[in-house]
Structures are given as C-alpha cells and as structure tokens.
Amino acid sequence: MVDFGVRIGDTFTFSKTVGESDIYLFAGISGDFFANHVDEEYMKKTPFGHRIAHGVLILALAATASSMVSTRSLERSDRYAPVSLGYDRVRFLKPVFIGDTVTIRYTIEALDPERSRSRARIEAVNQDGVLVMAAAHIMKWVEKRG
C-alpha cells in the first residue's frame, strides 16, 4: 500500500488578517495596481465601498495550508515528496477587505495511488464565516531518490 503520509479527511487550517501592507506588497510583487486594490477614493464610488484584496492574494494563502500538508507528509513518510500540480475551479465569491481575517480550510478529499496524486478542497472564509473563495488543489507525490 502506498503511503503519502496524509489521509482522506485530513484538514489543515491557516488564518491571517489581511492588512493594507499585504495588499501593497502583493501589488508590488504582482504588478497589479488596479484601482480596486489601491485607490480608496475610487472604491468609495463602487458597490464595495472600500479597497478589496487581490483574489490571487487570498489564493496564495492556500499555499500556506498546502505547505502544512507537505510538512505533515514529510514527517510521516520518508518515501514520497509532495509537489503542487495546481489549482482547479478557483472561485472568488465575496470580497475581502482590509482588516478581514481569512481562514483557509484545506481538506484532503481523494488519494490516487496509481497516479501518485491527491485532491483537496480549499475553502476560505472571513471572520463572519462567509465563504469568500473556493478551489480544488492537486498534489503530486514523487518518489524520493536513494
């Protein structure tokens, strides 16, 4: 039996309060200085009323939960090393504002030993329990050398 060091149903969580500096640093890294993210006066005239975080910034928080999965795997199995194959069905469902606390829930839903893959459900909720982002994550488990 193949053991990736994780089990179906394993859930990992990570929380972060999104600050103004997170948005500006992410804008600098990504080059996305669109008004939705950096222009408060512009956003006051929109239905949102305030600047919103980049959707991909929230998705990036899922990478932290993915790293938690990888760490768990390496603690439990010395045969396989995990690597991300990507995210599917990413949806940004509600805006995330400066000061919102986002919690990522990463749950292993399927293990495929034949293809050496796992599939996980990712949900991001704000401090009010509102689902703000959803996605699926595919992980590849590669056999270590030696």
**Residues 118, 42: contact at Cβ < 8 Å?**
no
Residue 1 has pLDDT above 80, yes or no: no
Q: Does residue 72 register a pLDDT over 90?
A: no
What is the per-residue pLDDT for 26? 97
Could you tell me what percent of the chain has a pLDDT over 70?
A: 99
80: pLDDT confidence band, cut at 50, 70 and 90?
Answer: confident
pLDDT > 90 in the chain, percent: 84
DSSP state of 46: S
Rounded to 5, what percent of the chain is helix, strand, coil?
A: 30, 40, 35
Q: Tell me: the pLDDT tens digits for 93-115? A: 999 999 999 999 999 999 999 99
CATH topology of domain 11-18+52-143: Thiol Ester Dehydrase; Chain A (3.10.129)
